[in-house]
Structure 1
Amino acid sequence: MRSTLRRISLAVAAATAVFTAALPGTATAQDGQGQQGRTYHVATWGADHDSGSSRHPFRTIGRCTEQVGPGDTCLIHRGNYRERVAPPSGRADAPVTLAAYGDGAVTIDGTRAVTGWQDAGGGLVAADVDLPLDRSENALFLDGERAMEGRWPNSGSDPLNPSWAVAERSSTDQHIDDPDLPDGDFTGATVHLWAGSNPWSQQTGTVTATSDGALDFKGGNYRCTPLCMGDQNYRNYYLVGAKATLDQPGEWYYDKDAGRLYLVPPKGGIAGHTVTAKHESWGVDLSHSSHVTVRGLELWGTSLRTGADSTGVLVEGVRARYISEFSTLPMPRDDELAIPPGEGHIVASRVLNSGVQILGRGNTLRDSDIGYSAGTGVLLRGSGNTVTGNYIHDVGWMGSYTPGIEVNGGGQTVTHNTIRRTGRASIDTAWQLNGVPFHDNRIAYNDLSEAMRTSRDGSPFYVCCNLDAKGTSVDHNTVHDADGQVGYYIDNSSGNFLLHHNVAYNTGTRGTFFNGHSSVSLGNRDHNSSYGTGISTAAVRLSGATDATGTYVSNDVALTPMEISGPGDPAPVVRNNLLPPADPRYTDARNGELWPRADSPAIDAGEQVDGVTGEVRGDGPDQGAYEYGEPIWSSGCRLAGCETRVRNDGWKATASGGADASAAVDGVQTTQWKGDAPQAAGQSLTVDLGTAKTFGRLAIDAGLDATGHPSGFTVSVSRDGEHWGTPVARVSGRSFTQDAVFGQRTARYLRIELTRPGENPWAVNEIRLYADGPDAAAALQAERAEVVRGVERGEAATSVLGTGDAIGFRGVRFGAGADTLTVRLASGGCGDCALRLRLDSPEGPVAATLPVRGTGGTDEWRERSVRLPRTVTGSHDVYLVATGGHRVAAVDWLTLR
């Protein structure tokens, strides 16, 4: 019998935290005073000629970094610091520390104010300014929000919801025909292409001539026909970077030669508005630093990097926004490539010069919130580095192979990250750029979703190409709700990948794909994985391999068959898998809860696999990713934002006219509802959530459909299905997965209504809802609690809570209300033991008391429930507090329904 407590004891010390209102990683004055060496203070009200004491702080961080040496600390008080921070190195036993003091946000701001605006005619204003970055890397912010560079067709503020023009089929590889192209001179503009028969990467070119309804361009189209404009399935493009595109408030254009910035001002004029422009690519530059700790800082319009020789750098509790911006996709330089240059390497454009960059060896990025990058979220390159516990989102919108996390090198650790809303992959390896062999990496306990927003041929976890992953383990990850074709994609002859205890659902045609691509696929393995709904063709596929020696697939559970082919010596081994027509009896496949019920045929039906199954409970290993009777492991981070999806409790959808549209809300991304006539304004879908839910974002996913997405729609909400009021969101544009974002609402019904006509019928594969904070009706996993007091957490549960010990979840959404608390726990029992549910603080009002009866020991797990005296509604911080003994119970998860 596996010992849960023994597993928990292996949890890292950093996983234990004391209750605090401060952000993760934020320093306090007491923290700083406890550091070895001297402590200096920095504050916006200070002066650089002062001493740097708490009463006489420095004005700039740069002045502080001039003073510090090994063991010294810069404590930085709240405020905005427009400077480039480049501290010296510390020592392994005495790092240099830059930390937020804890009295408010400390922002390293990479932008500078733009002033001196004058009327420029034609509804524009202009300012003379020297922007120091490359012309394609400029960014502008209007009143603290990213402003859109002038483009056609117009698009909304979300770069992952782009509006595309569609070229005529008469277009060719360097020419576009489009009768909707407006009048104007677009010469010199960038044309951004998502085109081809199966476009797995986007490209850019430069417009060389324009005429009525047509333009010529140079560049792009490196591989025809897969990535080529012309008579293709995909003929999408937009124009950016021309003065002629300026036609809506907030759009801008920079004339680099003249040093002049043009802007369409807000309605009412530019007076009273603030405009800033990006000036600094690397606000925190550690490229020549080692043994430095950066804690609790915020980055705005800039990024952070370590260097190829950096070691011992710790970055924690950082919040970064708009870290990288660019509008072109140039070919990587020859010296950046590890193999001979070739046209196909356009896919690796911007991988090495975007994102937060953890280079070198032995460096760590943890517990940080990193969002909004045209390119990579985090670049991990070198050896022995760690990226763990981070929330990475809204990145890679330019559509090359820049992912949430780019993993290069060997001995890297990538664990417990939540990666959401990426242009292409969530986690990727760029084979062209590997300088260090891809060996001995650990990629585990990551939650990857809403990937492939601007591509179709790819996956949330993507490997390419010809990589030898000797010693690498990809395990305990969850991939779901992505718009590509595969969940885990080991592409183009890569080998020796060990995949095990992974989960995939709503990933397209396949769960895992080993693609030999007319060459070898050697030593790839997949064990104890669980595949759910939304996988239409094969749970696991191996094809195209001239040699598949070492292939081994066992102990998997799936709702679709497997397709394994290819010669080998020994031949591929495929056995002990639970496949159709058998019913695995998942707990709740609609919501991705793929752990087995008590009557599942997967229990004790697996085989022993060295290094994978280990000790087991019962007569043998279970098939699938979860061992029945053990705590349910979870993936992803613990920061705010890491849990946002609204639980689908059996929603119903009806099309205008009364037709059933249940395929749009059945939780299965590979089923599709499609209208019976071309799109017309007024067509609608009405969704009944069954009970009132709280949500603030709606996603409409058309899967691989290239024609059925609407060009415009509104979203309205209702509590009773009769009174709707004004729409809460209006969306325009023509993107493949479309989001409507609005202030959080609590409602039972929502209606999506088209506002524009279209030549094709409306198609919806899945409607999903999201909100700030976890859904109370979902399983709140104890190991993902945002706050912990007096107890350790492992990969799947806590250790035993005693009196006063607690776990807490912030911003839990109850919607219409919950009246039952259920806790999965393990306990040896004690007289008056109980778990108390408290709201809003660990000492807040008691919403329920759950008496704890023994389950047979602290390794025997049972669900216990209690009715709440009063229904809880709205949103609350939720705390589970132990009382009545030194060893009350270990906790796996709780629900409030």
Structure 2
Amino acid sequence: MTVDGTEPVTGWKDAGDGLVAADTDLPPDPDFNAVFLDNARAQEGRWPNSGPDPLNTTWAEADPTSTDQHIDDTDLADAGWTGATVHLWAGSNPWAQQTGTVTTTGPGKLDFKGGNYRCPPLCMGNQNYRNYYLVGSKAALDRPGEWYYDETAHRLYMVPPKGGMAGHTVTAKHRLWGVDLSKSSYVTVRGLNLWGTSLRTGDSSKGVVVDRLRATYISEFSTLPMPPDSDLAIPPFEGHIVASRILDSGVQILGTGNTLKNSEISQSAGDGVLLRGTGNTVTNNYIHDVGWMGSYTPGIEVNGNGHTVTHNTIRRTGRASIDTAWQLNGTEFHDNRIAYNDMSEAMRTSRDGSPFYVCCSLNGTGTSIDHNTAHDADGQVGFYVDNYSGHFRLHHNVAWNTGTRGTFFNGHTGPSLANEDHNSSYGMGINGNSVLLSGATDASGSYISNIIGPKPISATQTGDPLPVVRSNLISDKPGYTDAVNGELWLTAGSPAIDAGETIDGITTDVRGAGPDQGAYEYGAPIWSTGCNLPGCVQRVRHGTWTATASDGTDAAAVTDGDINTRWTAASPQSPVQSLTVDLGEPRAFGRLSLDAGRDTVGQPYGFSVSVSRDGTHWGEPLARVSGRSFTQDAVFPRQTTARYLRITLTASGPVPWVVNDLRLYGDGPDASTTLQAEQATVVRGVERGTAATGVLGSGDRVGFRAVNIDGGRLTVRSASSCPRTCSIQLRLDAPDGPLVAVVLLRGDSGGEWRERTVSLKRDVSGTHDLYLVAKGGRQVTALDWLTIESPASQE
């Protein structure tokens, strides 16, 4: 069943100047209007034009002569911009975006009112960042599918598709809350689809269960106003602009003892999920493509006490993946559990922040932030406890490719009391500190131990008792399995094994002479993060990739897997400049992410992506991207398999283009990555745990949907005490489908975890469902993980 929050718009007539118009009443507040053309989000008319992905925003750049309420831009079209909304991402360090209203315009300039809170660092002017765009003006309509709503005349204008409106369907949003449970308790909603609308419970709701929800295009808005005083828990001041729209967007789980689980939530200008109240649960959800308007609206906003937020995959967010809003929650935030979440591709529209972000003046007593992964983010930190917050206990977290730091406790000229980080692992793509506690006037009771990281740990030595920093391993060779792919578990001979200290409540699964340093205990099953729904695992395993630049410069930084290294072209951007990437072997992918780093110059002004199987014969480009986003995504119309890809510039630019990192994503999991058994999308006859499964009996199975395979060798990590010959069968597409491998288990591991590798009966390629089926007895084996690789990739 689908609840559709939109209504058809009909009666289109010619409106002159290449436009059509229809008289229609849209919702009373025009800030929340949304229009869809042929069941896809139509873009509000804007200048400069941008692509269809709101997280790949194209920005105009104001001239340095601009001031805090004035923009000079020689490229600005001379048009009727008065009354338009100006969207700003500007300042010396713009950690949030703002909007204002254009008051006067002239050739190459405009004045506006609003925005510019705390100038600097959040203002237009002669600043490091001078980004802006314009919406809300009929003058911006210049591309098919763009729309503008005249709220006075109640008329919707659109640039029609090529060939006119015949055969096309237009709908417009009419309902903010397609499912409103704000006055309900003890209700179960299961298997519902939402389109162009959202769901909420209320402050008095209890015992509501939302299961298997699929919600798409849940929230849309075009302005970022200051939250009303009634929404703020502490006296308002203009810095609270960052909290704009937190309370009026997203799927909202409010009240006490309510649950959101097993759901996919995507496409929101604001929150993915708002969690408020006490004792609510958000678990096993896939949340993505949210928060593109650039305030502090995250994938999951956590306010209140006693909540459980676990096993969620949160990907592609404008700012944080998981966030707390201190302005709305006051200083009360305790006894929350945030664990086993995977957070990636965060901070797409901000520079100062992190996938996991706490702010500010919060007392996190009783709160545990543990067993989470943060990676491939465009901010500066993996886990960030900001501005005077204290009593947060972090442990067994993992971060890589998060920029400057792994974890940051920021006292910021105030107290940072009793914050802890234990047994966390930090990998490549961190170039400042693995853990930093700085700026604190009082850091009493802070404690950092059993950390593995590539960079030093530093803690301001203030307080009584002074911060403790000990039993940590700082090394660029700590014995990780595969740092480039974020597999930061230990290999035999690692100096971290048995080298940690005992921490009550933290080092509870010790194997050997003592606790290990880092997030994974050697010899124990490997815990994993994120959900087990389709789409939760997409990143293509990074192999021995190489890049060649058309200008002959050394392009090794493009494919080294480190977000902090950079390739820079030899000359300003011009069409036909290119990078050619050899993936070493054919890989299946449907999206390319090109990361140009965190500064303000060097993003490509436009590029195309072509692929080849042999490096000689190239087809037509599969994707074209325009604009100047800090990270740009080329999305292909279908998943493709190729060994080579070529990125070719299609536009000129005043400075050389740069690339810090290149990542690929598929439509499903990559079999050459480590497929964790507890993340299987099908489980039969056995319980899954936070690491591995229980013991499978004969006929029990785990399965993975739509896996991308290109290989001939299977490796399985399992623990078997089978008293006679047992086996694990690998079958394709069904539990009784083609048998491609048998792993014999002869009980010789004695219940200890062991890796076994066998060749497949034939090489397998393409997309298949995979099933591991146990055979041979009542207790065959427990499963930890599996991979399928080509023999060459293991050499």
Counterpart for residue 809 of structure 1: 704
Conserved in 2, the CA contact under 8 Å of 1:648 and 1:667?
yes
* Paired amino acid for 1:363: N
* Paired amino acid for 1:339: I
**1:604 equivalent among 490, 498, 523:** 498
Q: How does 1:244-259 map to 2 (within 5 A)?
A: 244-259=139-154
Counterpart for residue 184 of structure 1: 79
1:132 and 1:829 map into 2 onto residues whose CA distance is 65
Displacement, 1:831? Answer: 2.5
1:577 and 1:829 map into 2 onto residues whose CA distance is 39
Counterpart for residue 311 of structure 1: 206
**1:709 equivalent among 603, 606, 609:** 603
Superposed CA offset, 1:579-632 (max 9, x none): 136x21100000000000011010010000001112411111000000000000
2:761 and 2:283 map into 1 onto residues whose CA distance is 40
Query: Does residue 829 of structure 1 match 2:722?
Result: yes
Query: Does residue 282 of structure 1 match 2:282?
Result: no
Give the secondary structure class of the aligned counterpart of 2:474.
coil
1:294 and 1:380 map into 2 onto residues whose CA distance is 17
* Paired amino acid for 1:485: Q
Conserved in 1, the CA contact under 8 Å of 2:700 and 2:773?
yes
Query: Does residue 734 of structure 1 match 2:623?
Result: no
Conserved in 1, the CA contact under 8 Å of 2:699 and 2:774?
yes
* Paired amino acid for 2:661: E
Q: How does 1:464-863 map to 2 (within 5 A)?
A: 464-580=359-475, 583-742=477-636, 743-814=638-709, 817-858=710-751, 860-863=752-755
* Paired amino acid for 2:504: D
2:640 and 2:171 map into 1 onto residues whose CA distance is 32
Conserved in 1, the CA contact under 8 Å of 2:725 and 2:747?
no
Query: Does residue 194 of structure 1 match 2:86?
Result: no
* Paired amino acid for 2:99: T
* Paired amino acid for 1:894: L
Conserved in 2, the CA contact under 8 Å of 1:403 and 1:428?
yes
Conserved in 1, the CA contact under 8 Å of 2:331 and 2:361?
no
**1:882 equivalent among 747, 750, 774:** 774
**1:896 equivalent among 785, 788, 791:** 788
1:704 and 1:659 map into 2 onto residues whose CA distance is 22
Displacement, 1:843? Answer: 1.3
Q: How does 1:120-199 map to 2 (within 5 A)?
A: 120-199=15-94
* Paired amino acid for 1:491: D
2:623 and 2:176 map into 1 onto residues whose CA distance is 34
Give the secondary structure class of the aligned counterpart of 1:335.
helix
1:588 and 1:342 map into 2 onto residues whose CA distance is 47
2:553 and 2:240 map into 1 onto residues whose CA distance is 48
Counterpart for residue 72 of structure 1: none
Conserved in 2, the CA contact under 8 Å of 1:449 and 1:460?
yes
Query: Does residue 869 of structure 1 match 2:784?
Result: no
Displacement, 1:647? Answer: 0.3
Report the CA distance shift for 1:553/1:342 in structure 2 as closer, same or farther (over 3 A): same
Conserved in 1, the CA contact under 8 Å of 2:551 and 2:570?
no
Displacement, 1:855? Answer: 4.1
Conserved in 2, the CA contact under 8 Å of 1:801 and 1:887?
yes
Superposed CA offset, 1:311-359 (max 9, x none): 0000010000000000000000001001000000000000000000000
Give the secondary structure class of the aligned counterpart of 1:677.
coil
2:521 and 2:14 map into 1 onto residues whose CA distance is 68
Conserved in 2, the CA contact under 8 Å of 1:826 and 1:855?
no
2:425 and 2:570 map into 1 onto residues whose CA distance is 36
Conserved in 1, the CA contact under 8 Å of 2:339 and 2:370?
yes
Superposed CA offset, 1:419-441 (max 9, x none): 00000000000000016820100
Give the secondary structure class of the aligned counterpart of 1:361.
coil
Give the secondary structure class of the aligned counterpart of 1:285.
strand
Displacement, 1:183? Answer: 2.0
Displacement, 1:852? Answer: 1.1
Conserved in 2, the CA contact under 8 Å of 1:542 and 1:566?
no
Conserved in 2, the CA contact under 8 Å of 1:855 and 1:862?
no
Q: TM-score, normalised by structure 2?
A: 0.98
Give the secondary structure class of the aligned counterpart of 1:432.
helix
2:690 and 2:619 map into 1 onto residues whose CA distance is 46
Give the secondary structure class of the aligned counterpart of 1:187.
coil
Counterpart for residue 45 of structure 1: none
Counterpart for residue 294 of structure 2: 399
2:683 and 2:620 map into 1 onto residues whose CA distance is 42
Conserved in 2, the CA contact under 8 Å of 1:544 and 1:566?
no
* Paired amino acid for 2:712: D
1:580 and 1:528 map into 2 onto residues whose CA distance is 15
2:320 and 2:258 map into 1 onto residues whose CA distance is 23
Counterpart for residue 792 of structure 2: none
Give the secondary structure class of the aligned counterpart of 1:471.
coil
Conserved in 1, the CA contact under 8 Å of 2:722 and 2:777?
no
Structure 2 gaps of 5+ residues are: 790-795
Structure 1 gaps of 5+ residues are: 1-105
1:778 and 1:827 map into 2 onto residues whose CA distance is 23
Where relative contact order (Cα < 8 A, 6+ residues apart) is larger, the structure is 1
**1:442 equivalent among 337, 345, 349:** 337
2:120 and 2:228 map into 1 onto residues whose CA distance is 24
Displacement, 1:179? Answer: 1.0
Superposed CA offset, 1:142-169 (max 9, x none): 0000000000000111000010000000
* Paired amino acid for 1:480: H
**2:158 equivalent among 251, 254, 263:** 263
Give the secondary structure class of the aligned counterpart of 2:95.
coil
Conserved in 2, the CA contact under 8 Å of 1:507 and 1:535?
yes
Displacement, 1:397? Answer: 0.1
Conserved in 1, the CA contact under 8 Å of 2:68 and 2:124?
yes
2:609 and 2:509 map into 1 onto residues whose CA distance is 51
1:570 and 1:377 map into 2 onto residues whose CA distance is 40
Give the secondary structure class of the aligned counterpart of 2:227.
coil
* Paired amino acid for 1:678: P
Superposed CA offset, 1:784-805 (max 9, x none): 0000000011100111111110
1:203 and 1:875 map into 2 onto residues whose CA distance is 44
Counterpart for residue 338 of structure 1: 233
Superposed CA offset, 1:184-240 (max 9, x none): 101111000000000000000000111011111000001101011000000000000
Instruction: Say which is worse superposed, 802-811 or 653-662, in terms of deviation.
Output: 653-662
2:411 and 2:551 map into 1 onto residues whose CA distance is 48
Give the secondary structure class of the aligned counterpart of 2:364.
strand
2:369 and 2:291 map into 1 onto residues whose CA distance is 22
Displacement, 1:562? Answer: 1.1
**2:113 equivalent among 192, 211, 218:** 218
Which contiguous aligned blocks of 4+ residues in structure 1 show a shift greater than 4 angstroms? none
Displacement, 1:766? Answer: 0.1
Conserved in 1, the CA contact under 8 Å of 2:234 and 2:330?
no
Superposed CA offset, 1:78-125 (max 9, x none): xxxxxxxxxxxxxxxxxxxxxxxxxxxx11000000000001011100
1:344 and 1:705 map into 2 onto residues whose CA distance is 24
RMSD: 0.8
